[in-house]
Amino acid sequence: MIKIEEYMDIKDYSTLKIGGQFRYFAVISNKEELPSFYAIAYDERKYKNIPIFVLGGGSNIVFSDGVLKVITLKIEIKSFEIINETSEYIDIKVGAGENWDNFVRKTVNMNLVGIEALSFIPGTVGASPVQNIGAYGSEVKDTIQEVEVFDIEKREFSKIYNKDCKFGYRDSIFKNEAKGRYIITAVTYRLNKSLPTIPKYPGVAKYFEDMEIVSPTLSQIRDAIIYIRKEKLPDPRVSPNAGSFFKNPIVLNAVADKIKIDFPEAKFFPVDENHIKVPAGWLIENSGLKGKSFGSVSVYDKNALVLVNTANATFEDIIKTRNEIIKIVKDKFDIELQQEPEIL
């Protein structure tokens, strides 16, 4: 029988350490509990018309203050199952509640190639397809085979294949048209038995050049990624944060050309013939905001893309700071930044 708790404090479920209370809260540790949970939630009057919110690691979300009128489901479904193996690859089906980095560590130890560059990203396996997590030249979409879901509308389990997930940069069907429709219960990844290659990313290449390593092992690649991440991203247990707070904007070449007049040294990244990616961190830093404190919220001094909650910030403090940064960057560069984490 599932226990539905009331008025659960949110802060401990948020790596940014903000938020009020969830009106209702339940932990799901076995996918078979979902149908009976829905039977209760939809049939008992007091839960009627209260939206369900699925919580993973709480590392990419900004929670509001006060009582959030939702039934939060904390997904703790754990499993790890090899479902298919050939001489070239292995398909592994993993429970949505598994810690993402524990899963990466395990596959690196098994010498499987594919997600090593995604080492040390906080959060859960179930969250990985939602925002198509990406880092150091890899995106998780390139390894996902299918996503197992509980379809809330039909109240049955189903599978969504990679091609139907509509993956994009930090984007998928789960953030858009399918939002609120599914609960992700497991994800199947295809990982390769091939030799690892150095992630195509300037900082990683430089790390191995400095170490004079030409063909690193998979664990050396994982170690490099962890080292580089630690340099640029604050540990949420020490400095509460939600990772990158803004998306890297993709703009028309002409917009970037205009910036280059004043900043000829700036390094931007072509996306296609007409578009170029301008790092949000660069824009914020060159607006003079790196390390700047906005009361209880600061722009991280080693990486301007990260906002840190330095003194029990409220939701409003975060949003005010966000808006101020967006405005200053817009005034200076005529580019409007977009928030990266979700808001609830």
Residue with Cβ nearer ligand EPU (42 or 269): 269
- Residue from 19, 57, 20, 61 nearest 242 by CA: 61
Among candidate residues 128, 170, 172, 190, the one labeled active-site is 170
Work out how close the CB of 25 gets to ligand EPU at its nearest, in angstroms, rounded to a whole number. 25
293 among known catalytic residues: no
Residue with Cβ nearer ligand EPU (135 or 140): 135
CB–CB of 112/196 below 8 Å?
no
Among candidate residues 138, 172, 244, 287, the one labeled active-site is 244
Work out how close the CB of 248 gets to ligand EPU at its nearest, in angstroms, rounded to a whole number. 5
Structure tokens at 63: 């929670």
119 among known catalytic residues: no
Work out how close the CB of 260 gets to ligand EPU at its nearest, in angstroms, rounded to a whole number. 14
Structure tokens at 115: 């997600």
Among candidate residues 98, 139, 148, 340, the one labeled active-site is 340
> Cα separation of 46 and 291, whole Å?
47
> Cα separation of 128 and 139, whole Å?
10
Work out how close the CB of 235 gets to ligand EPU at its nearest, in angstroms, rounded to a whole number. 13
298 among known catalytic residues: no
What is the contact surface with ligand EPU in residues (CB under 6 A)? 135-136, 232-233, 243-244, 247-248, 267, 279, 281-282, 285, 290, 303-305, 340
Cα 339 to chain centroid, rounded: 13
Residue with Cβ nearer ligand EPU (146 or 340): 340
b/e code 254-288 from CB counts within 10 Å (16+ = b):
ebbeebeeeeeeeebeeeeeeebbbbbbbbbbbbe
For residue 114, is it left (φ>0), alpha (ψ between -120 and 50) or beta? Answer: left
Residue with Cβ nearer ligand EPU (186 or 318): 318
Hey, which residues are catalytic here? Answer: 170, 244, 340
